[in-house]
Chain A
Amino acid sequence: MPEAKLMQGNEACTLGALAAGLNFFAGYPITPSTEIAELCSEELPKIGGKFIQMEDEIGSIAAIIGASLTGRKAMTATSGPGFSLMQELIGYSAISEVPIVIINVQRVGPSTGMPTSLAQGDVMQARWGTHGDHPVVVLAPGNVRECFDLTIKAFNIAEDLRVPVIVLSDETIGHMREKVVLPDYKSIKVVNRKAPATPAGYLPYKADQDGGVPLMAPFGAGYRWHVTGLSHDETGFPTNKGEVAGDLIKRLMRKVEKAEPVIRDYATESADDCDVLVVAFGSSAMSATSAVRQARAQGVKAGLFRPKTIWPFPEEPLRELAAKAKRIIVPEMNLGQLVLEIERVVAGKAPVERLSKVNCELFRPEEILKAIIGGSK
């Protein structure tokens, strides 16, 4: 019987990664993510895994892509400044379809900002930080247990779709300790990438259907294939043909679009019959949950929609709820990022109100409650 334990968010991310099969970690120290590297340095050698502290965050993401190519499950963890440095190679992972997981424990930015304080300002960067059209999946845990669950999910999606997956945590979720009961490990489903059967006729980037994911051979297994960040054809070698390069981008984007209904993850509370729908993610959602419960206790029909997959955004379920709501409130610890996507999805079906906060302190529930009740009167 799994026992209840007081666990930190960053610790839960690490344990989730290990449960998913993590056996390679490269990182560079940065607050507020360091506990993840520290725990990996301690745990990985015990299971024959590898840990390396690289010379910077660019080297860290480069090393995990290299490790992943040999068939390992590889991860790095960072925060704002380091995440910015990693952007170029997120694109490399996307175009070369080498699975990696990045934990970004968000802190206040821009630049060095406030290393030990809370913000959720990397929502757009997580989606569009690297140049060019590219696929990426971003998951946002809303409590410590979800740090565990969503890191497993991040690895499973990365392996299944061969995409970079970002776990968008934040300073509050990463550092808080909460009572957690981990699931029985036997109940955890782990996905491993699909490998080709034989080197004969192997085309490393041949996808057999719309939005297909090519089979991936590990380096060192006799396939002798070529990987490049240049636009390439199905052989993996560079192409100068615009049409081929365009088809590659379309396939890369399509594979995530197509998987969206399957990987989609969100939670709701009292959302089916609400007048005021609060849409919040990560640590803001903890305040929002409290506010919605208090509003209900006061007889106000409030509800919560909490996306766990941020990118791709779970459009369909939100659109359905938006059709029934009179107002939508979006509290986030930035000056309005996820709200832009929500406005796009809701498309005028209900007024969308921004509740932005950038003073580094988690929303107090009454701040959101005030917005819920204030506007309803």
Chain B
Amino acid sequence: MSESLDYFRQNRLPHIWCPGCGHGTVTGALTRTLAKLGIDKNNVVVVSGIGCSSRASGYLDFDTIHTAHGRAIAFATGIKLSRPDMKVIVMTGDGDCTAIGGNHFIHAARRNIDITTIVMNNSNYGMTSGQYSPMTPTGMLGTTAPYGNVERPFDLGKLAIACGATYVGRSTSYHVQLLGELLEKALLNKGFSVVEAVVGCPTYFGRKNKLGGAVDMFTWQKDHAVNVKAAAVMAPEKLEGKFLIGELYNQAAPEFTAQYDALIESVRRKFDNFQGGVRGCAQNSD
């Protein structure tokens, strides 16, 4: 525990998340996993977008960047391509990642760029007080879905797999142990990794939908999540209304920044007599 605390900027705590919010649980799981893997603090960049999830970056003691709404993965792409040696982690939410940031998400997956994306799915836009998101289940209420959401939600795991992510897992803020295991594998995967963490938002989603308090929402997670291994041998009708957790996909593929570096090597061999560029210019001379 004390080791993982070292990954926090303790002077930035306490955090702004509501009592019962799962974001703190997920952030804690991340720091414990990083501590377990013994990852050097100076070699990590945490990138976040906008929303409740995205405040996580400010509490973590790495180089951190709280970007613009939806753009975390695009910023992270620039960082990772610049510094392939660094561990780049994106912390985002269901709205940030799959609505305004959806395009960057699918293309990062397609490229298989080595970024670990943690999506804290609280089923609504918490920061702006509970509007429905692309991951709000059909029929549920939101402040912009006062009669129930008529849209269909994304299955983020399937989306990520279809787009080319090479590691995909899902857990909940209740299944913290599993969450840690998935994060560990995601961080070790050389490619685009997605870990969805289903979390409760008792303040908005829970209250609006009369799901009870924080404890009730954790109980809901416990009752509705089915491990993918168990699901494999269950009858389809038993899975009705449930969602899968566990490792959803794990398949290696060529990683983008490594491919680009290989390209640089081959191009350099071909053009080793190149004389242009910065060489020869006076640096900082007045």
Contacts and interface: CB of A to CB of B under 8 A. Distances in A.
A24 B283 contact: no
Interface stretch (A53-61, A111-119, A138-146, A318-326): A53-61
B45 A219 contact: yes
Contacts, number: 174
Interface residues of B, number: 51
A229 B67 contact: yes
A185 B280 contact: yes
Contacts of A19: 276-278, 281
Contacts of A62: 67-68, 71, 74-75, 77-78, 104
A228 B65 CA distance: 6
Nearest to A72: B82
Contacts of B65: 66, 69, 219, 226-228
Contacts of A74: 78
Nearest to A43: B276
B57 interface: yes
Interface string B52-94: 0000011001111111100100111111011101100000000
B268 interface: yes
Nearest to A50: B81
B81 A67 contact: yes
Given A50-B260, A89-B71, A238-B58, A66 B77 contact: yes
A114 to B, nearest CB: 26
Nearest to B77: A63
B14 to A, nearest CB: 14
Interface residues of A, number: 58
B278 A18 contact: yes
B48 to A, nearest CB: 9
Contacts of A68: 78
B68 A229 contact: yes
A172 B65 CA distance: 39
B2 interface: no
Interface in A155-179: none
Interface string B249-286: 00000000000100110011001001011111111111
29 contacts: A26-B77, A45-B260, A45-B263, A47-B276, A54-B74, A55-B104, A55-B107, A56-B103, A59-B71, A59-B103, A59-B107, A60-B74, A62-B71, A63-B78, A63-B81, A65-B75, A67-B79, A69-B78, A70-B86, A71-B82, A89-B68, A92-B68, A186-B280, A189-B281, A189-B285, A190-B282, A192-B284, A224-B64, A229-B68
Interface of A: 15, 18-21, 23-24, 26, 43, 45-48, 50, 52, 54-56, 58-60, 62-72, 74, 88-89, 92, 185-192, 219-230, 237-238
